[in-house]
């Protein structure tokens, strides 16, 4: 996607000693960057704060990464905000997260509008508390016609639930005669996923050092490159993103074939 060179240069002007924007090739920015935003709780605990403070700080980090991706011309930024398993957390934490999602979304809508960002949700948002759901639906409607970056927020998302839903939709189409069993191929599955209109992520970033996928985008990450950093999500910033992209650009992506070099 096109980006504004002046805004880009201004946003990345002051850089830390170990990295600068010259370390990445702007012609090879990944189209779709995906973040598993992990470590809010541990970030807070390490500072003697409540987990809720960690989630609030995590939202600020997401705001920075959204802006950084817009400045770089990333087409799609997806972010794992709440998994189908996160309902197992204490009710108070779940309630706080749902409240924060609604509140932040309202607060951030002007930014999304200003930056021409289109929002979509991955996951079953119909199961969210009414207020959160209403705000999300309003945001969807308000940003639907935007033509800039797509921000795909995974909320009440689980890849197994997504894949079983796709299987159910295929079964219904086959049972009703709309789809022949022999036509069930990769694209029949992909078109029934929440990500049906998105390219697969080229780069998946997981913060807080965990070496696992935690039921995220199992189908879509078949050939994604992984970048795992020990940084807790609230400390992840534009430079963390630049480091991740620099690492991504150093990888030899073979897709089962032989190296291009």
Binding residues for ligand IPE, rule: CB under 6 A, are: 36-42, 80-83, 86, 97, 208, 210, 212, 214
Report in angstroms how near the CB of residue 40 gets to ligand IPE at its nearest: 3
User: What is the closest distance, in whole angstroms, from the C-beta atom of residue 258 to ligand IPE in the complex?
Assistant: 35
Q: Is 116 a catalytic residue?
A: no
- Residue 177, classed as helix, strand or coil, is coil
Q: How are beta strands 203-206 and 150-157 bridged, if at all?
A: unpaired
| Residue with smaller CB distance to ligand IPE, 62 or 74 | 62
237 catalytically annotated = no
Eight-class DSSP state of 45: H
Nearer to Mg ion, 56 or 133 (CB): 56
The CB-nearest residue to ligand IPE is: 41
Find, among 133, 155, 189, the residue nearest to 79 by Cα.
155
In 158-223, DSSP assigns E strands to 203-206
Q: What is the CA radius of gyration of the chain?
A: 19
Q: Is 31 helix (H, G, I), strand (E, B) or coil?
A: coil
- What residues line the site for Mg ion (CB under 5 A)? 38
User: Greatest CA separation found in the chain?
Assistant: 62
Closest distance between ligand IPE and the C-beta of residue 173, in Å?
A: 31
The neighbouring-strand residues paired with 36 are 80, 206
Q: Where are the beta strands (DSSP E) in 103-202?
A: 118-122, 150-157
Q: Identify the bridge partners of residue 32 per DSSP, sorted by sequence position.
A: 76
Pick from ligand IPE, Mg ion, none: which does 67 bind, CB < 5 to 8 A by kind? none
**Least CB distance from residue 81 to Mg ion, whole Å?**
12
Closest CA to 59 of 104, 110, 106: 104
Compare residues 24 and 119 and give the one whose CB is closer to ligand IPE.
119
Q: Closest CB to ligand IPE among 150 and 156?
A: 156
Active-site positions read: 38, 86
């Amino acid at each position: 996607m096109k980006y504004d060179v002046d805004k880009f240069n201004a946003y990345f002007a002051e850089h830390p000693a170990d990295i600068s924007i010259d370390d990445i090739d702007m012609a090879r920015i990944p189209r779709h960057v995906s973040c598993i935003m992990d470590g809010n709780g541990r970030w807070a605990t390490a500072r003697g704060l409540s987990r809720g403070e960690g989630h609030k700080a995590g939202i600020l980090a997401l705001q920075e990464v959204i802006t950084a991706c817009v400045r770089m011309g990333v087409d799609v930024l997806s972010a794992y905000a709440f998994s189908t398993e996160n309902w197992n957390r204490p009710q108070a934490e779940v309630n706080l997260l749902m409240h924060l999602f609604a509140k932040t979304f309202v607060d951030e809508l002007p930014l999304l509008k200003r930056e021409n960002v289109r929002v979509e949700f991955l996951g079953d948002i119909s199961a969210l508390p009414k207020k959160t759901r209403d705000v999300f639906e309003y945001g969807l409607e308000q940003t639907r016609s935007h033509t800039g970056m797509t921000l795909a927020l995974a909320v009440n998302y689980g890849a197994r639930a997504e894949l079983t839903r796709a299987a159910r939709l295929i079964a219904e189409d086959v049972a009703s005669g709309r789809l022949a069993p022999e036509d069930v191929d990769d694209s029949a599955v992909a078109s029934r996923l929440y990500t049906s209109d998105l390219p697969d992520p080229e780069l998946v970033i997981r913060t807080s050092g965990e070496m696992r996928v935690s039921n995220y985008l199992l189908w879509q990450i078949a050939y994604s490159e992984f970048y795992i950093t020990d940084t807790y999500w609230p400390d992840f910033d534009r430079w963390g993103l630049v480091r991740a992209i620099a690492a991504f650009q150093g990888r030899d992506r073979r897709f089962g074939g032989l190296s291009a070099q």
